[in-house]
Structure 1
Amino acid sequence: MKRLNPNNCSVLVFYNHEQDFASTLDLLSKVFSDVIVKSTESQVISQLKQHSTTSTLLLIDAESCHTKTMEECPPLLLTIVDLLKQGLITNVVPIVCSTLDSPSYMVKCLQSGAADFVLKPLSEDVAKTLFLNVTRNRLLHAESTLEKVEQTSSIWDSQQGKKGQVWSKFRNRLKGVFLEENWYVVFVYNSASFNEYHRLSKLVAEYYTPKPSVRRSSMASMLSWDFSPLDLDNKDLIQVVFMILNHTLMSFDELEALRVPNGDLYHFIFDICNSYHSSNPYHNFRHAVDVLQANYYFLCKIGAIEPMCPMIRSEDPMIKQLLQPIDIFALLMASIGHDVGHPGVNNNFMITTSTPLAILYNDKSVLESFHAMSFFHLLKEHCFGQLTDLRANPEYSIFRKIVVNSILATDMSMHDEYVHKITDQAERIKNIDLTDKSACEKEKVLLCGALIKCADISNCARPFESAKEWAKILAQEFFEQGDLERELGMPVLPINERGKICLEDFQISFKKFVALKLFESICKVTTNMQFTIDYIHENINIWESMKSKREPVDKLVTTPNTIPPQPTPDGSCTPSQRPRSGI
């Protein structure tokens, strides 16, 4: 949550008394940068209904209100509270100001919805602390919203009775997956303004992502195509990310405005790490670092960025001119944030179970849309907040466009469509006019999407031993989703069922019919990616050799019904259907 100070909120004063109010206004103006006075209730309501992205402290002078008795709550307070409940106004914190020091009257005002009660004449000390009511109000509202979410989740558990060992394992990752309409209504009802939407979408991001559990450390990172994060712990992974991002920021003068103290950069990466579920076998922070390192290597290979250490490369002049420093930084940032909060199940599961996120995003790129939203909240809360404020910094609009589109590109349901787009780009980019900003923007957004797609499945193009380990880990995550689907009484796709098809078949099929098409299309754009195709062909040959030494699939024994068959010791038995969400 953004740290508040008096300049982060405005003050609206309702006052129409004959007594001199100039001293109070002078006092408020010294503390707050924006103070407005209205003399009628209709003027107050009209002012509050105007769209505002900042919170407003409404100071209601009780003596200015027409009441039958001195201890009757100001009618304007009751009206404001009612409008807030209806969602007709937002971001308003009502405070009653009066000369009446009756304890019962003060309590009555608070019970009626006032955030605070202050005595007149207003002192400077009291004025300086009024803004704290905004923070308190937001915290109370957030706690109330999350309490409703937890209550609804508990109701679902008790009514459906679908608890089991697998569900317990997924519980922290899928807190809100089965929440029904109540949760969604709470979200939509409170999204009347941009500020409310930002606050509540932040709650969604925080609700689905895990709590901090990692401490910082440092290490020396390997930056070659042989790089594998599988044997690194989180502190080492964080150091790899720091080295890549810091090197990128320091490599370009154009990024000087984004350079931050090392401590701030570490803190940002630390929170990114904690936003991934470590209990996911595959979609965890380790995978995110793998994708980041792959894209960093690609960019170095094509000459878009000077590597930290010497490496064999051949510059692609067209790509180097097309991708500007902010584009490069955006692609790397999208890489580390592309799976933030991933719950360990795919889009098909989210849609089939009618999760609130699936409803919110209309069943389209559900997880990818969530990842992009969550990542921008992390940017906003840390040292890169300026990248999210496009009104103040319109020059960063391309950053947002590349990050969002790159993350959305990792939706594997769009894979074939992307391959066609990249293939078409190969012809256009040869004759692109680099002075045509609109054309260049279109091509760079597509190119970054292509690169992150390659990086997202780059493990199949890594040296074989690393590729094999990643394949086992991915299969395990598919199995765990299948176990959950079985426990919940849902149909289990072959891709998620243990023992159905051997790992060799899955890997050969995926590489031949999914990965190769992508990498071959990007090689038409830049031949500097040819090394990935060479590795994929080499790995296919090894998988086919392993397959020839195994028994046919139809001789594998599977166990039906409630107890899923266990994988072979080397993890070789796994589904062979193509995944429906990003891998």
Structure 2
Amino acid sequence: KRVFNSSSALHSLIGTQVLFIFILCILRVNSCTEPRRPYRFASAQQGEVEAGTRRKMKRLLSFQRYCHASRLLRGLVPHTPGSLHLLDDDYLGQAAHMLSKVGKWNFDIFLFDRLTNGNSLVTLMCHLFNVYGLVHHFQLDMVKLHRFLGMVQEDYHSQNPYHNAVHAADVTQAMYCYLKEPKLAEQLSPLDVFLGLMAAATHDVDHPGVNQPFLIKTRHHLASLYQNTSVLESHHWRSTVGMLRESRLLSHLPADMQDMEQQLGSLILATDISRQNEFLSTFREHLDNQDLDLQLASHRHFILQIALKCADVCNPCRFWELSKQWSERVCEEFYRQGDLERKFDFEISPQCNQQADSVPAIQIGNNYRFISYIVEPLFEEWLRFTEPSPLSQNMMGHLYKNKARWSRLRYAHTPSDTQTHSHAEEPRGGGGEGGDIS
């Protein structure tokens, strides 16, 4: 493994990467930034919705990846106005300093995103690929790598409060922390690390900001395409495969490319929250029987699936300031979906009614209890798996503290929290609280 121990080496690495991106930007003679073209939208009440309103809904539900078969004219890296300030030594030095602590649990991804001018995902992935020596091991072309990562970052919708490139970078940083766990670190192959980081970075690419039930009830063509099963996760995977092939990142590995794409899909599909009980029961069974053998590729792959699931919903295990911000962001995204449903006379989905569902209620309320239903059981088993490690102990400590804090906020909050719904439904991800660790 290629590990960078000195801040000067880190500064040099980031400076080289940023300068490289800057040169690529200069080489873009014509940056053709095509507008997002929406899907056809079939309303459940199509006869009652006027054409102009349908066009507005189309724009809100656009999926860029399926609208454009090719992006060859869109440039090597996404265009970000004002990106030249990245060359300032102060910003560069601070970003490099943060990268020297990227394996710490108290890593502030929001600050890092500001220091990199919205390029946190590209910068983080380049750094981690170099830390693990993946560029050298897989003989990756740096131009193709930057092109691919730029496409991925651009395909996250920045207007989404939660499912955006910062979330992807946050999940990637968490995944890196889990890959460093002593129980795992010595057993993982370069391919395992490559797939784990790639899946974390791409697991929500081109997320529309609405959930699967919304796509199904609005008869969105993605729901039909994937037969109402793991619709978003399948879309994230297929979009990633499309970008891998378009960038030709793995074109020099024809014998391995298809298998790598399939394994990547298996990891991304594991983040489907509707499969939570399936993975959790299998994980418990392995731990109870003590039959996990990390010498086996299939068992390592399963642990990578669990690690990605943990990274995807680890917000309640972060320190409070970060965790609270993520919770507010995911709830804002839920509320926006609820506003859409109200506007088009659909039944408002659970957790999406801003008048009835407060942020604390969504975290620990009677009907939802995202922390208790989803996060806590998963991380309790991860604690067992790590036997337990300092990181997992620290995460659980913050989880319990944050859960108690949300409970106090809920009962000190609004009377609307006490409203009930016709049925409880498993939450769909994101939110909570956290902590820090060295």
Alignment TM-score, normalising by the size of structure 2: 0.73
Does 2:390 match 1:579? no
- Which amino acid is the alignment partner of residue 512 of structure 1? S
Match of 1:451 among 294, 297, 307: 307
- Which amino acid is the alignment partner of residue 470 of structure 1? W
**Cα distance in 2, alignment partners of residues 288 and 329 from structure 1:** 15
Aligned residues: 369
- Which amino acid is the alignment partner of residue 490 of structure 1? F
CA change 1:473–1:489 in 2 (3 A) is same
Alignment TM-score, normalising by the size of structure 1: 0.56
> How much does 1:264 deviate?
4.0
Give the corresponding residue for 2:395.
532
CA change 1:176–1:155 in 2 (3 A) is farther
> How much does 1:327 deviate?
0.7
CA change 1:433–1:512 in 2 (3 A) is closer
CA change 1:424–1:163 in 2 (3 A) is farther
1:324-359 per-position Cα deviation (integer Å, ceiling 9, x unaligned): 111111110111111111111001111112221111
Match of 1:242 among 120, 123, 126: 123
Does 2:397 match 1:510? no
**Cα distance in 1, alignment partners of residues 260 and 427 from structure 2:** 29
Give the corresponding residue for 1:409.
270
CA change 1:213–1:499 in 2 (3 A) is farther
Higher strand proportion, which one?
1
What are the residue-to-residue correspondences of 1:170-185 with 2, within 5 Å?
Answer: 171-175=58-62
Kept in 2, the 8 Å contact 1:429–1:443? The answer is no
- Greater shift, 475-484 or 217-226, is seen at 217-226
> How much does 1:363 deviate?
0.7
What are the residue-to-residue correspondences of 1:177-576 with 2, within 5 Å?
Answer: 203=68, 213-214=79-80, 218=86, 219=92, 220=95, 222=98, 223=102, 224-231=104-111, 232-233=113-114, 235-239=116-120, 241-252=122-133, 255-261=136-142, 263-300=143-180, 302=181, 315-316=182-183, 319-386=184-251, 392-394=254-256, 396=257, 399-427=260-288, 430=291, 432=293, 434=295, 440-508=296-364, 509-526=369-386, 527-528=388-389, 529-553=392-416
CA change 1:468–1:403 in 2 (3 A) is same
Gapped regions of structure 1 (runs ≥ 5): 1-145, 178-199, 303-314, 435-439, 557-574
**Cα distance in 1, alignment partners of residues 46 and 281 from structure 2:** 48
Kept in 1, the 8 Å contact 2:233–2:272? The answer is yes
Which structure has the larger Rg?
1
1:32-69 per-position Cα deviation (integer Å, ceiling 9, x unaligned): xxxxxxxxxxxxxxxxxxxxxxxxxxxxxxxxxxxxxx
Gapped regions of structure 2 (runs ≥ 5): 1-35, 87-91, 432-438
- Which amino acid is the alignment partner of residue 282 of structure 1? Y
Give the corresponding residue for 1:33.
none
**Cα distance in 2, alignment partners of residues 577 and 265 from structure 1:** 40
> How much does 1:525 deviate?
1.8
**Cα distance in 2, alignment partners of residues 579 and 469 from structure 1:** 18
CA change 1:426–1:214 in 2 (3 A) is farther
1:204-248 per-position Cα deviation (integer Å, ceiling 9, x unaligned): 697xx9x95536664415322222333434944425543444433
**Cα distance in 1, alignment partners of residues 425 and 44 from structure 2:** 32
Give the corresponding residue for 2:9.
none
> How much does 1:582 deviate?
7.6
CA change 1:333–1:429 in 2 (3 A) is farther
- Which amino acid is the alignment partner of residue 247 of structure 1? L
Q: Percent same amino acid at aligned positions?
A: 26
**Cα distance in 2, alignment partners of residues 245 and 473 from structure 1:** 27
1:484-514 per-position Cα deviation (integer Å, ceiling 9, x unaligned): 1111121112311112133222212211221
Kept in 1, the 8 Å contact 2:157–2:208? The answer is yes
> How much does 1:278 deviate?
1.0
Structure of greater relative contact order (alpha carbons < 8 Å, 6+ residues apart): 2
CA change 1:477–1:162 in 2 (3 A) is farther
**Cα distance in 1, alignment partners of residues 418 and 43 from structure 2:** 45
User: What RMSD over aligned residues (CA atoms) do the two structures have, in Å?
Assistant: 3.8
Kept in 1, the 8 Å contact 2:233–2:269? The answer is yes
CA change 1:400–1:538 in 2 (3 A) is same
For the residue of structure 2 that corresponds to 1:547, the secondary structure is: helix
> How much does 1:202 deviate?
7.9
